[in-house]
Amino acid sequence: MKSRDSLIRLKKFQADEKARRVAQIEAMIAEFSRMIGDLDREIGVEEQRSGNSDPAHFAYSTYARAARTRRDNLQNSIAELRDQAEEAKRLHGEALEDLKKAESLDGREKAMERITDMVRPDMDVMALRTARA
């Protein structure tokens, strides 16, 4: 009984850990998206201030160029994180399935124990009746 309970606790912990990983990745994606929005605003302000919005122009603002590069890097990171999030969600689903299987197995074993406990007293009565006869 203790090993079944330990198995269920382990599976629950693993599923919870996978869920935390998914939440962590999604939080990172949201934070990077917010940062991209901030960088877009800063780039627009800098381009307006300098009067030059052509990144290929030799007089384009160095700050705006650096902000564009950072924004592009964040966008690439978001794409990679989305792939990681999909994998983490798949692993979380598998962990939930493992937990359900362990709980189902535990439920079946407990049901069999209850049935066995209910049948045994009847068997004892029947054994006594045959012994008396």
Per-residue pLDDT of the chain (133 residues; tens, 9 = 90+): 567 888 889 999 999 999 999 999 999 999 999 999 999 999 999 999 999 999 999 999 999 999 999 999 999 999 999 999 999 999 999 999 999 988 888 777 666 666 666 655 555 555 555 655 5
DSSP secondary structure code for residue 31 in this structure: H
The verdict on residue 120 lying in a domain is no
One-letter identity of residue 92: H
Structural domain including 98 reads 2-103
Residues 60/54, Cβ–Cβ less than 8 Å: yes
Structure tokens at 126: 């029947």
Structural domain count, the chain: 1
The verdict on residue 14 lying in a domain is yes
The verdict on residue 121 lying in a domain is no
The verdict on residue 125 lying in a domain is no
CA pair distance 5, 132, nearest whole angstrom? 43
CA pair distance 91, 40, nearest whole angstrom? 34
The verdict on residue 78 lying in a domain is yes
**pTM of the full structure:** 0.73
The verdict on residue 28 lying in a domain is yes
Q: What is the 3-state secondary structure (H, E, C) of 91-120?
A: HHHHHHHHHHHHHHHHHHHHHHHHHHHHHH
Q: State the number of CA atoms in the 13 A half-sphere of 110 facing the CB.
A: 10
One-letter identity of residue 11: K
